Structure 1
Amino acid sequence: MPSDQGDVPTGLSRRSLLRGGLAAAAGLAAASASSACNAMSAGLAGSEVAPGTVTYWNLFGGGDGARMQTMQDRYRSSPGSPDLQAATFTWGNPYYTKVSLATIGGVPPDVAVSHLTRSTNLARAGLLSEITDDMLGLVGLEAGDFVEKAWREQEVDGRSYAVPFDTHPFVLYYNADVCDRAGLLESDGSLQPIAGTEQWEAALTAAKEVTGAYGATVPTIADPATSWRWFQTLYQQHDGATPWLGDGGRELTYDLDVTLDALAYIQSLTERGLMPTNTDYAGAQTLMFTGQSGFYLQGEWEIATAQSIPGLEFGMVPIPTLFDRPAQQGDSHTFVLPARERTEVQVERAMGFVRSMLDQSLTWARGGHIPAYRPALDSPEYRALEPQSNYAAAADTVVYDAPAWYSGSGSNFENIVGAQVGLVQQGLATPQSAVEAARSQLLTYAATPSPL
């Protein structure tokens, strides 16, 4: 198995070798800059920045990217705001590799976005600066300003390294026309409560009778991340469910009986034709949007797509509790300060940018994400925002992926387990064979030291 040392001479770790090489390269690139620190911060973004500029990296595309651009422009137009250089990079592993290498090489941005499930690993690798109460206080913030679960989950060994921006859970979309004709709506147009597998299956059966196709849809092919989210949601709704990974990813700690039960239930829904066996990401949502399915399971970020469909009346609610307790897989976007030496002025500039983004949480919430900043979440404006506020309770029952260097949103872990769940959905693997295949692949990662 690979080790921390590899072929590097004793006393020189892979990380120190990378740090030295990247730092040297960054130093050469910054030699002619009037401010070495600011030039190196701009290095991987591709241009030099003026002293006092806030540099910011994110991974937002699509509707999220457009909203973030609007928020950045508002920051720039605010009287007294420092200059801002923002850069957007490819979502997932490529983005986190870039942030890690830039930080190791001494050329990180002032502020970066990180999924909460990725920030823990970055913090343990020494790649993030701690965010203290004093730093929060510089811009009028404190820990109590944030949703308790998101704030607690971002802590590492009792220290804070991330400022939660939102919660984005797996949710249930419903086609209001189909559900109305199926007798599943209340008099005010809201979805009747669904609890337990019997009520869930009855609702899907009623919807299927209306559509003539399916009761609910979720991607089954070419989208392992969604397959993982669907499985993790049902797995974590079981009493006795344990995290899939333990000891920082060095152990596989899932409960086998609960895993097999959740997989068997997922497969039963496709075997009975209540959900499709072969549909990709776009196909799953199209079926619900066009009235061929009553329900659609996906992250809340697809709200913008649903809103763009002419004539589509839809709603969104937390995933029904089908087993023992409410739970839905999810994650949070956070703001982090990649590790570097900062003066108090630089800290205040970085935290001021973060505060500006938090103050614009309602703009962000229109794209579906639940604000983690309590003044926005508790505001009358957010409560009046529908259907967004109708699933806000999911922020308290969201389940984050267990921390490991290879886990989190867009990770190898999600791809490995999700691919096997997809085969179960398609009827191409049994629950037992899927678990065995996932376990075999994950053991390799569990035995491999973190490359950071």
Structure 2
Amino acid sequence: MEPRPPLTRRRALAGAGALAAAGALSPLAAGCSAPYDTVASDKTRLRFWHLYGGGDGVNMTAMLDAFAAGHRGIDLQATVLEWGAPYYTKLGMAGAGGRAPEIAAMHLARVPGFAPGKLLDPFDLDLLAELGVKPEDFTKEMWERGQFGGKQYAIPLDTHPMVLYYQTELCEKAGLLDGDGRLKPIESTGDFTAALRAVKKVTGGPALITETLGPDVVGPWRLFATFYAQSGGRVLSADGKRIELDDAKALKVLDYLARLGEEGLMLRRADYPGSIGQFSGGKFGFLLNGEWEVSTFKTAKMKFSMTRTPGLFGPPKTFADCHAFVLPHQEGRGGAPDRAAHTLAAWMLKHSVDWAKGGHVPAYTPVLDDPAYVKLKPQSEYRGVIDDVVLDDPAWFAGSASRMWIELGGVFSGVLTGTRSPRGAVAEARKRLRQLLDTPNPLPGAES
């Protein structure tokens, strides 16, 4: 997930099967191929499709401008498409026709749905190595999520996990900060409940806010997925073909979240924009959300900080996805345009300190020790989470803006708002997962 206007984000989370509608929603509605612009004969055309809006869009534009300025022999043509299902449908259709752009952005957990080898082409690892990018520059788990059949189909740019934001003044009054002004360790449900109660004594109201409802709501799924992963449970099998939801572990997480609402420690009803706005208003001590809102709160000049989501049910794992670079399928891919695509990916990785300003943790690990990144506050405070992020199990219907996020987000929303029992939510989640597993991948050229 990533910084973008919340309402646009919610509108974009439509069903991935709406193939025909996607063309109408896209700036490239005239066709499924990348636009062909006139290119000077002495330059190599490089078309890059991405879905970055909001603060991410500003950062990406600045980085692309810098790349273009330093690579005069490349005619970089960047096109922004609508975030979510419209983007992925358009990209899949372009790849199926072999008329795609040279390079594109993709969420790493969405790669399995793009039938690597059919809708995506593999990267040339020798060329990447020549450009200074090697597999050992990434965490093993993140790198391998881009592999299929022994080939590399995605190069991670970042990871964007769930984090815990906290209001420093409220937490200080509640006695929750250490001598350096950082949040004291929270290592169990008991610790977290106690912290919320301490803030409630200061404010007189709920201490925690998060997204719990709204059209195409996904926050409840991301919250559940984080704590469920800490318990050691998984939703699907390693190949994404079977349900492995552990009812006991799921109920333990959902029961706890339900109790937070019942006790008045967490606000039960808040849509995405409302959760951001109300936390900005200073009445809540804590916000659980993706790290991409850091720019929002810094712009508002709030007194806040961030830390990794605490381990309430086990090790402090957290749910995430990753932005990545992919090579959409082209007939006859190769030559100077392909080299330009690899060059862009390598350059962006090496300059991802600028990308990290929006809150994302760089996937290219040499950047994590770059003094310029370490100085970014509070962005670098949670960089250690890169070793503990958990992505969706591989399935065509999983990943950012996916059917699973929307389906299960709606199911778990009822638990957070108090309109559905935890046990009923687990049963309904199983039903929805079965329906998704029985539904063929709607992207052209992909297999179910």
- TM above 0.5, yes or no, is yes
AA at the equivalent of 1:255 = D
CA distance in 2 between counterparts of 1:79 and 1:157 reads 33
Alignment partner, residue 325 of structure 1: 315
Correspondence for 1:119 among 111, 117, 121: 111
Give the aligned length.
411
Residue 246 (structure 2) pairs with residue 255 (structure 1): yes
Q: 1:137 to 1:89 in 2, by over 3 A?
A: same
Alignment partner, residue 29 of structure 1: none
Q: Structure 1: which 5+ residue stretches go unaligned?
A: 1-17, 23-41
Q: CA deviation at 1:47?
A: 4.5
Q: CA deviation at 1:79?
A: 4.3
Correspondence for 1:48 among 8, 32, 37: 37
AA at the equivalent of 1:285 = I
Q: How does 1:90-129 map to 2 (within 5 A)?
A: 90-124=82-116, 126-129=118-121
Alignment partner, residue 395 of structure 2: 404
Is the Cα contact below 8 Å between 1:149 and 1:395 reproduced in 2? no
Alignment partner, residue 11 of structure 2: none
Q: Any idea what the Cα deviations from partners look like across 1:161-186, whole Å, max 9, x if unmatched?
A: 11110011000000001001111111
CA distance in 1 between counterparts of 2:297 and 2:326 reads 31
Alignment partner, residue 343 of structure 2: 352
Q: CA deviation at 1:428?
A: 0.3
Q: CA deviation at 1:120?
A: 2.5
Q: After the TM superposition, which of the residue ranges 123-132 and 422-431 deviates more from structure 2?
A: 123-132
CA distance in 2 between counterparts of 1:276 and 1:258 reads 24
Q: CA deviation at 1:249?
A: 3.7
CA distance in 1 between counterparts of 2:372 and 2:378 reads 13
Higher relative contact order (CA 8 A, sep 6+): 2
Alignment partner, residue 236 of structure 1: 229
Q: CA deviation at 1:45?
A: 4.5
Q: CA deviation at 1:408?
A: 0.8
CA distance in 2 between counterparts of 1:156 and 1:430 reads 39
Rg bigger for which structure? Answer: 1
Correspondence for 2:326 among 336, 356, 362: 336
Alignment partner, residue 32 of structure 1: none
Q: Any idea what the Cα deviations from partners look like across 1:96-155, whole Å, max 9, x if unmatched?
A: 100000011121000000000011322446211112321312422211122333212222
Residue 218 (structure 2) pairs with residue 225 (structure 1): yes
Q: After the TM superposition, which of the residue ranges 209-218 and 93-102 deviates more from structure 2?
A: 209-218
Q: 1:45 to 1:210 in 2, by over 3 A?
A: farther
Q: Any idea what the Cα deviations from partners look like across 1:293-349, whole Å, max 9, x if unmatched?
A: 100000000001111113x11110000111122211001100011122222323211
Q: Structure 2: which 5+ residue stretches go unaligned?
A: 1-18, 24-30
AA at the equivalent of 1:134 = D
Q: After the TM superposition, which of the residue ranges 345-354 and 292-301 deviates more from structure 2?
A: 345-354
CA distance in 2 between counterparts of 1:90 and 1:125 reads 25
Alignment partner, residue 416 of structure 1: 407
Q: Any idea what the Cα deviations from partners look like across 1:419-452, whole Å, max 9, x if unmatched?
A: 1111010110011211222222222221123232
Correspondence for 2:188 among 178, 190, 196: 196
AA at the equivalent of 2:219 = T
AA at the equivalent of 2:364 = Y
TM-score by length of 2: 0.88
Q: After the TM superposition, which of the residue ranges 333-342 and 149-158 deviates more from structure 2?
A: 149-158
Taking only aligned residues, the RMSD between alpha carbons, in angstroms, comes to: 2.0
AA at the equivalent of 1:297 = L
Alignment partner, residue 179 of structure 1: 171
TM-score by length of 1: 0.87
Q: Any idea what the Cα deviations from partners look like across 1:381-418, whole Å, max 9, x if unmatched?
A: 11121111110111110110111111111101011111
SS at match of 2:176: coil
Alignment partner, residue 9 of structure 2: none
AA at the equivalent of 1:226 = G
Is the Cα contact below 8 Å between 1:112 and 1:338 reproduced in 2? yes
Q: After the TM superposition, which of the residue ranges 201-210 and 279-288 deviates more from structure 2?
A: 279-288
Q: After the TM superposition, which of the residue ranges 244-253 and 292-301 deviates more from structure 2?
A: 244-253
Is the Cα contact below 8 Å between 2:96 and 2:118 reproduced in 1? no
Q: 1:269 to 1:133 in 2, by over 3 A?
A: same
Q: CA deviation at 1:248?
A: 4.3
Is the Cα contact below 8 Å between 1:211 and 1:291 reproduced in 2? no
CA distance in 2 between counterparts of 1:248 and 1:125 reads 17
CA distance in 1 between counterparts of 2:307 and 2:389 reads 13
Is the Cα contact below 8 Å between 1:49 and 1:85 reproduced in 2? no
Is the Cα contact below 8 Å between 1:370 and 1:392 reproduced in 2? yes
Is the Cα contact below 8 Å between 1:123 and 1:156 reproduced in 2? no
Q: 1:131 to 1:45 in 2, by over 3 A?
A: closer
Q: CA deviation at 1:283?
A: 1.7
CA distance in 2 between counterparts of 1:396 and 1:49 reads 44
Q: Any idea what the Cα deviations from partners look like across 1:212-260, whole Å, max 9, x if unmatched?
A: 2111111111163211110001111114x12x12364432111111111
Q: CA deviation at 1:379?
A: 0.9
CA distance in 1 between counterparts of 2:276 and 2:53 reads 19
